[in-house]
Amino acid sequence: MFITVVFCCVPYGVFAKVAGVCSNCHIMHNSQNGAAVDPDGANERLTTDSCVGCHSDTSSNTIRSNSIPIVFNSSQPSSPLAGGNFYWMVNQSDHRFGHNVQSIAGADSNITYVPGRHIGSDYTLTISDCFNCHSVGFSPGYPGIPFTIQRSGNVMICQDCHTQVMHHADDSETVVDETGGWYRFLYGVKGIEDPDWQKTVSESDHNEYQGEPSAYGNSISDAGCGCHGDFHALKDPGGVGTASPWLKHPVDVALPSEGEYASYTAYNTETPVARPDLSGYAGPSSVVTPGTDQVMCISCHRPHGSDRPDMLRWDYNTIIAGGGANNSGCFVCHSTKDDGL
């Protein structure tokens, strides 16, 4: 098969820094004509609303007219953005469909302890345990450290993942790093930011995710999913394994260049891969190179939430071994398991 390398010509990231008059987003005293602008109280850095407030919408639209990317719609989102949406968790009253973020949902009704994070022999740490230690050692909002900011009980807040929020950073470089406020304000993560957050998405129009050749190399699965470090092959080789046969599903590990993996060559936006080195990329590529490109946490999950249990990108119940050609989900990589070969 002949493969065309498609690099898009738009300079990526140029739209991702805030613009406009200050008063669109800031209020000096949380007071206008004598009434509070945010009735819930004044916000840090004098913003007109909270993180959840600015990034939520009652319509199904996922980018508001003033260019705010929406992660929580209260009507079913028409084109959910790359990270997914908190809509389903709330609409279906089912905590399996999203991360439990304060003012969107209460404590998780299924998961009591943070999965994939232990200290010594303690595998039963709650969010409150994380907070009780981090809030002593680190100031609130310390970059790279989740659970430093007060919340009520065992819930997350947006800044547990987006630990360095920098709306005014210049992220016009193709590969966004620390200067640009990291990839999507995820401390330590590099990447190429699709300008409409994948509201429109295709093989040649998408984010590019950083993988890594060794642990602590700025990948979205390593730094971005740091709370679940025990699930990461390079950070916990003892627990996950170092090669087939694996003990847990690996991430930041290359798709083998042979066998069933070799046929994943055209980028599938429902089952994306990470690139161990993005520095040669001028923009999104429609090509997947087995032997180099890697499986990542968000090959299978949406970090905010999805319409599937376990925040999966696709319905696991319809991925049936020997169930006939079905080039989706697990089968995009495990390409021979669908037809029973």
Kindly state whether residue 251 participates in binding ligand HEC, applying the rule CB under 6 A. Answer: yes
Rounded least distance, CB 8 to ligand HEC, Å: 16
For ligand HEC, the binding residues in 71-110 under the rule CB under 6 A are: 71, 81-83, 99, 101
For ligand HEC, the binding residues in 22-51 under the rule CB under 6 A are: 22, 24-26, 45, 47-49, 51
Provide the token pair at 160: 């547990």
CA atoms lying within 13 Å on the CB side of residue 269? 20
Residues in the chain, overall count: 341
Kindly state whether residue 234 participates in binding ligand HEC, applying the rule CB under 6 A. Answer: no
Amino acid letter at 133?
Answer: C
Which of 105, 114, 155, 175 is in the footprint of ligand HEC by CB under 6 A? 114
Kindly state whether residue 68 participates in binding ligand HEC, applying the rule CB under 6 A. Answer: yes
Distance CA 43, CA 41 (A): 6
For ligand HEC, the binding residues in 154-213 under the rule CB under 6 A are: 156, 158-162, 165-168, 171, 184-186, 193, 197, 207
Among 138, 185, 193, CA closest to 163: 185
Say which residue the tokens 């003990």 belong to: 247
Kindly state whether residue 283 participates in binding ligand HEC, applying the rule CB under 6 A. Answer: no
Say which residue the tokens 């609303």 belong to: 49
Which of 12, 97, 210, 224 is in the footprint of ligand HEC by CB under 6 A? 224
Which of the stretches 3-11, 19-27, 32-40, 278-286 binds ligand HEC when contact is defined by CB under 6 A? 19-27
**How many residues sit in the footprint of ligand HEC (CB under 6 A)?**
94
Helix (H, G, I), strand (E, B) or coil at 219: coil
Which of 145, 155, 192, 201 is in the footprint of ligand HEC by CB under 6 A? 145
Which of 218, 297, 305, 307 is in the footprint of ligand HEC by CB under 6 A? 297
CA atoms lying within 13 Å on the CB side of residue 107? 11
Which of 77, 211, 226, 284 is in the footprint of ligand HEC by CB under 6 A? 226
Whole-angstrom distance between the N-terminal and C-terminal Cα of the chain?
Answer: 22
Kindly state whether residue 221 participates in binding ligand HEC, applying the rule CB under 6 A. Answer: yes
Rounded least distance, CB 274 to ligand HEC, Å: 9
Distance CA 150, CA 134 (A): 11
Kindly state whether residue 229 participates in binding ligand HEC, applying the rule CB under 6 A. Answer: yes
- DSSP class per residue in 78-141: SS--TTB-SHHHHHTT-GGGB--BTTT--S-SS--S-TT--BTTB----HHHHHHHHHHHS-TT
Which of 210, 219, 285, 299 is in the footprint of ligand HEC by CB under 6 A? 299
